[in-house]
Copies of this chain bind each other. A is one copy, B any other.
């Protein structure tokens, strides 16, 4: 892996762990194994580095977008695939969820704009499908589509961001098992509060 990439992933990890303000360029440089000015050669300021980390995250997300798009148009299993895809994205690297949550807290104004531009269309689209499903009786009639979608996203994001800290409240033999229970129940809640008739898994 080349140095630029190594800096990027190290920065992402430390920003997620300690926050932007809690991370020093020195700490990043140390972990990469270079001096601070070398780091600043590749990313001319800390702020620029932050932007790059975020762009990289968004880039990775847009890689799974096609699969999400596919899921929406695939009829019956839509829902399962959609949520599970979202879940997988954050689960394969919990730093992603933590970065998003931190950004949400640290820069609410900017984040609000970004969400309005990048996520709201999605929420609207999914809400349309839900509204139709509610009319045909396949889905529960009293669902509030937009709010529902937001809650499901919140649940996935917050659950993955908190990680072991919160799954630790679920007694289990291993961390994996606790996580498994966590995810299963998340899917169940999302499903059973949306579909009119409970379906087997």
A146 an interface residue at 8 Å Cβ cutoff? yes
**What's the minimum C-beta distance from A150 to chain B, rounded to whole angstroms?**
5
Within 8 A of B (CB), among A100-129: 101-102, 104-106, 108, 111-112, 115-116, 119-120, 123
A92 an interface residue at 8 Å Cβ cutoff? no
The DSSP consensus for interface residues of chain A is helix
Taking CB as reference atom, which chain B residue is nearest A106? B19
Copies in the complex: 2
**What's the minimum C-beta distance from A37 to chain B, rounded to whole angstroms?**
24
B112 and A188 form a contact (CB under 8 A): no
B residues less than 8 Å from A144 (CB atoms): 170, 181, 184-185, 188
Within 8 A of B (CB), among A165-201: 165-171, 181-182, 184-186, 188-189, 192-193, 198
B159 and A151 form a contact (CB under 8 A): yes
**In the complex, A186→B146 CA distance in Å?**
12
Taking CB as reference atom, which chain B residue is nearest A98? B105
**What's the minimum C-beta distance from A146 to chain B, rounded to whole angstroms?**
4
Interface size on A, residues (CB 8 A): 55
* CB contact under 8 A between A188 and B142, given known A104-B165, A154-B158, A169-B120: yes
A161 an interface residue at 8 Å Cβ cutoff? yes
Taking CB as reference atom, which chain B residue is nearest A120? B169
A181 and B115 form a contact (CB under 8 A): no
A sample of 17 cross-chain residue pairs with beta-carbon separation below 8 angstroms, ordered by A number, consists of A19-B106, A20-B22, A22-B106, A104-B165, A105-B161, A108-B163, A111-B165, A115-B166, A123-B169, A144-B185, A147-B185, A150-B166, A150-B182, A151-B182, A154-B162, A155-B158, A192-B193
Interface residues of chain A, those whose CB is within 8 Å of chain B, are: 18-22, 98, 101-102, 104-106, 108, 111-112, 115-116, 119-120, 123, 140, 142-144, 146-151, 154-155, 157-159, 161-171, 181-182, 184-186, 188-189, 192-193, 198
